[in-house]
Amino acid sequence: MPLTPVPRLIELAGPGGLGAFNVITLEHAEAIAAAAEATERPAILQISENTVKYHGGLRPLGRACLAIAEDSTAALAVHLDHATDTALIREAVELGLGSVMYDGAVLAYGENIAATAEITRWCHEREVFVEAELGEVGGKNGAHAPGVRTDPDEAAAFAAATGVDALAVAVGSVHAMQTRAALLDEELITRLAAALDIPLVLHGSSGVPDEGLRAAVRHGMVKINYGTRLNIALTEAVRIALAAAPGTSDPRKYLGPGRSGIQRDVEHHLRVIAARTLRAVPN
């Protein structure tokens, strides 16, 4: 189906959360779309600035994600994540991505407001959804310091000054966690949701246990970002496939299981954040 605007995806996801999943390889994108179809849940395919650098450019992977989303029967969008380069944001919009995140969290508060407001104005003129970040989510090469939290009053002022459509906030999660031991500040999530009339975004969700994610959605988180869990699922499946057949040289023989591993993980998390109560969702 045609790409679905993020505001519509949020409507379709409610009262649960909207899952947003990082794409690094084509297998990631295919698995995310397949999982959204299997669960009949909306989702976002995200391409980070770091992934763009890894591939040497946005266009090949960006075009592939757009094609996969458009060919899927699920409601999907393609989003540029954690972009600090305004030229990359402009390229993403011109390519057809309908959602971008400008990450000015490393900037001083006033500089972050000025830069985010300018980018938001430019994107809104082109009907593009804009996410920003306030507070510092740990795990991003020292730019995002663990222990920092987003202040609700400051967040409300930031949203009003910039006009952004969604705000990533620091409430206890950490990027790139290999374990699921992060403890979220649920009381702070509730206060942020009350202070803001735009969706809250949780980064670093891979490090949060299922019960924590369900509670985060219940307390007001809307967009839930995953990355590391998908990579763990891919890598574990590839290791198993190669251990079972060490002489394998055809990448389809191990990337196929890797893609299936990602799909299972995405399906699980889509079901977790779709839960309307805190009851357990089966693996």
Q: Could you tell me the two tokens for 99?
A: 């959602």
Closest CA to 4 of 60, 73, 51, 80: 73
Instruction: Judge whether 81 counts as a catalytic residue.
Output: yes
Q: Indicate which residue of 81, 103, 210, 265 is catalytic.
A: 81
Write out 130-182 in H/E/C secondary structure: EEEEECCCECCCCCCCCCCCCCHHHHHHHHHHHCCCEEEECCCCECCCCCCCC
Residues designated as active site: 81
